[in-house]
Amino acid sequence: MNRFENRIAAVIGGGSGMGRAISHRLAAEGAFVYVTDLSEEAAEKVTAEIEEKGGKGKAVRVDATDTASLQALFDTIEAEHGVLHVLHAQVGMPGPGGLELDDAAWQRNIDVNVKTAYYSTTMAFPLLRKANGKGSVTLTSSTSALIGSPFSPIYSMTKGSLVPFGRALALNGAKDGIRVNVICPGQVKTPMLAQFFGREPGADVSALTADFVKTIPLGRGAEPEEIASVIAFLNSDDASYVTGTTIPVDGGLTAQ
């Protein structure tokens, strides 16, 4: 499939895990992908992988908590292409466990999980409007936004904010033909997974992961590529009448 041929995409947080898989999938379907990450090395590695497979992309170091850094990215895209068709916001972090957070930890979680999503998407709108009705935004939230996390209420709070934000952004963008959708992954086999189950010192990550898998109706965690396939669909013309939705990608976890 070449659903993104001659289209420009930017993945905010594309250097590892789900973001890496999404960058690869969009490039494989023809997009020129701006692979952005806080780690320039990670962004360059993913871009090199894409190019080795015949795809096209560019690595850009972006601190998505910094609006100046984001603006520099969009200025670059405008100068080089003049348009953006796909913006995917992947940046996030697992919140600390429990209820006791100091001000610095609370602010850090807000900055990474909320501020990055807000500014990376809204600042992209001027370029998305130039896509002649083909502009699309996707955001990665979490099943913890839908069912709550007893382990990290701050994580549910911050990721939960993306669900109504996505709906509001979809309504705002509809007049310009910009679609906006949110996905809520469950357990995904990424490097960050250990951080979710290793919040407490001395936690047995393997045992906790295995126990959680038992609660998933399909009996397994997701591969990053399975998340990428949903993102590719939502940003493609195959989903041209889909906007303002929130889709769990969780093996049936939230259906129980």
| Separation CA 139–CA 153 (nearest Å) | 20
Q: Phi first, then psi: give them for residue 8, nearest 5 degrees.
A: -110, 130
Give residue 213's identity as a one-letter amino acid code. Answer: V
Total H helices, total E strands in the chain? 12, 7
Question: β-pairing, 86-89 with 56-61?
Answer: unpaired
Asked about 118 being catalytic, the answer comes back as no
Candidates 34, 119, 155, 241; catalytic one: 155
Under 8 Å between Cβ of 152 and 95: yes
Which residues of the chain form beta strands (DSSP E)?
8-12, 32-37, 56-61, 86-89, 136-140, 179-185, 246-249
Which positions are annotated as active-site residues? 155
